[in-house]
Amino acid sequence: MSKLKSSIPAKPEVLRWARLFRGLSILEAASELSTTEDELSRIEGGNQPVTSDIFRRMKSVYRQTESALLLPRTPTDLDAPQDFRTVRGVTPTLSRDTRWAIRIARRMQREVSDLLDEVPELFPSADITAATISDDPEDAASVERAKFPVSLEAQRNAPLHMSSYRSWRAAVQERGILVLQQPMPWGDCRGFSLWDGEQVPVIVVNSSDTANGRIFTLFHEYAHLALRSAGTCIAGPGTDGESVEPWCNRFSAAFLVPKNELIGSIQRRHLVQPDDEWTVNQVRNLAREFRVSDLVMGIRLKETGVTALYERAKFDWYWKDQPKSRRVIHSGDNDLKREPAEQTLARSLGFGAIKVVLDSVREGVIDTGDAADILGLESSRLPDLDNLTSEHRQRDRFAA
């Protein structure tokens, strides 16, 4: 009788879906759930009820809410985006953490899109001019840059490093694109994007990357959205195979360092000189002016015909742009301290997704319980998340 009372009426197929969604094998899941492979197989096969103790552990191990695990049917789990990560003839495999990040992004895209179907006014509609790889990425970047109310003066005056990234992230979200950041092994994936033309577009950057790396990836993935070719990317030099990746690299660099402004800066600095006289320090000083990495500035100087120093130094710059710590995963802003759950969530999902969910509560589309389930946060902490999101939205904007 006690065993019956402690059982949970969860659908076996939903529990199996939750395990696979987390990227766990039967053996891995059983170990983390402190049960046996045989017992978990019986639970997923519908031959044994799941006890309250194991169910409680499943919520933690599978990173799912109780309501998700008690769904009457298996949710639709979309495939991973196209893989553009081929580098020097090798396509890396996706780690469990990267697969999880893709699934989180898919789920948030679906949830936000459903809410926007009810009240479209809650988030701007993305306006990204379609492009093809036969287009000049310089021209395409110029068209998109004109849509952003961010002057070159504001860009130059932005604080260095993470603050500059947060400002660009906010600017992209104001353009109707969800920008998430998720921890993934740095060598696995620098970022990816999701867009099918119907649901809200999503860009995900690797929270273990450097600030400059995230900025470059942000607009590399924006280029993928312009090409309507969302996918997973490394976004660095040495990319071969599909010509999409070099195009996106050039777009990102041109967006961040417009040609006319670059030439003007070179003239003001009296750097009109032969190719072989350019030094790494001169490139670095220009990069700091535009708040970009040496790698991005090297690409721009090559594309504008100023110097081909990029070809001689690109791999040094690329590896220099790695996180100083080679830890596989770390916190979003290099802050390894334990922080409140709402702060971690705001850092991960960004104010775009969170604002849509919380505004949907205010509009009566969903209740606080629904919002808590979507965001994976206790309902009692939603007011703190709301305040924090508003603070981030104001703090992160570029100064006029």
Q: What is the pLDDT of residues 326-338, one digit of tens each?
A: 433 333 444 445 6
| CATH number for the domain that contains residue 33 | 1.10.260.40
CB 178 within 8 A of CB 202: yes
Report which of 27, 52, 56, 53 is spatially closest to residue 40, judged by C-alpha positions.
27
pLDDT of 268 reads 94
Report which of 41, 45, 46 is spatially closest to residue 30, judged by C-alpha positions.
41
Q: Which of 269, 297, 320 is the last residue of a domain?
A: 320
pLDDT of 239 reads 44
Q: Which of 44, 69, 94 is the last residue of a domain?
A: 69
Q: Long-range pairs for 110-117 at CB < 8 Å and ≥24 separation?
A: 110/78, 110/199, 111/357, 111/374, 112/178, 112/200, 112/353, 112/356, 112/357, 113/198, 113/199, 113/200, 115/356, 115/357, 115/360, 115/365, 115/366, 116/200, 116/356
Report which of 237, 222, 225, 211 is spatially closest to residue 334, judged by C-alpha positions.
211
Residue with tokens 């809200």: 200
Rounded distance between C-alpha atoms, residue 19 and residue 63, angstroms: 9
Same-domain check for residues 298 and 210: yes
Residue with tokens 């045989």: 38
Same-domain check for residues 122 and 14: no
- Cβ-proximal residues to 113 (8 Å cutoff; 6+ apart), any chain: 198, 199, 200
Total count of domains within the chain: 2
Token couple for 327: 């830890």
In a domain, 347, yes or no: no
In a domain, 387, yes or no: no
Same-domain check for residues 238 and 262: yes
Token couple for 240: 């071969």
In a domain, 389, yes or no: no
Same-domain check for residues 65 and 86: no
Rounded distance between C-alpha atoms, residue 302 and residue 311, angstroms: 8
Same-domain check for residues 54 and 126: no
Q: Which regions of the chain are under pLDDT 50?
A: 1-5, 77-78, 85-90, 235, 237-241, 325-336
Token couple for 189: 């994936």
Token couple for 141: 């970047």
CB 180 within 8 A of CB 105: yes
In a domain, 346, yes or no: no
Q: Which of 15, 42, 69 is the last residue of a domain?
A: 69
In a domain, 115, yes or no: yes
Same-domain check for residues 122 and 259: yes
Same-domain check for residues 282 and 188: yes
Give how far Cα 347 sits from Cα of 9, 335, 370, 393, 397, Å: 35, 11, 21, 12, 15
In a domain, 257, yes or no: yes
| Residue type present at position 310 | Y
pLDDT of 355 reads 95
Same-domain check for residues 59 and 130: no
In a domain, 176, yes or no: yes
Q: What is the pTM of this model?
A: 0.79
Same-domain check for residues 159 and 269: yes
Same-domain check for residues 64 and 86: no
CB 3 within 8 A of CB 43: no
In a domain, 17, yes or no: yes
State which residues form the domain around 213: 82-320
Same-domain check for residues 93 and 205: yes
Same-domain check for residues 176 and 92: yes
